[in-house]
Amino acid sequence: WPGYRENLRPLLWLMQFKEGEVEGVRTPVGVIPAESELVMDGLEVPAEDMSRILTLDTERWRQEMGFREEHLAQFERLPEEIWEAHRRVAADLG
């Protein structure tokens, strides 16, 4: 986002999502806003930049999941629910 005050836009979307007012786009790592759901009044963002912001980089997420697995492995007696969530996201990423 172009600046601190613009952080309100995704926060507003998040509140709308919580209230069921918007649906977002489901991804392997969670739900992200659909471009049409964001309030962009008064903000000029080139289409290429907006596309990049709202596109999931699957390859980088796969790499991140490897790092996360290493991190989680450091903790003894980690609740199985955390491992289940980790494995679910990793599997969804393919």
Supply the DSSP string of 41-81, one letter for each residue.
TT----HHHHHHHTS--HHHHHHHHHHHHHHHTTSTT--HH
Domain limits at 91?
A: 57-94
Q: Which residues contact 92 (CB under 8 A, 6 or more apart)?
A: 28, 29
Contact 34, 24 (CB under 8 A): yes
pTM of the model: 0.78
pLDDT surpassing 90 at residue 80: yes
Q: Which residue has the tokens 């786009």?
A: 25
Question: Same domain for 4 and 39?
Answer: yes
Question: Same domain for 2 and 47?
Answer: yes
pLDDT surpassing 70 at residue 1: no
Q: Considering its fold, how many domains does the chain have in total?
A: 2
Half-sphere exposure of 50 (CA within 13 A, CB side): 14
- pLDDT tens for 30-76 read 999 999 999 988 888 899 999 999 999 999 999 999 999 999 999 99
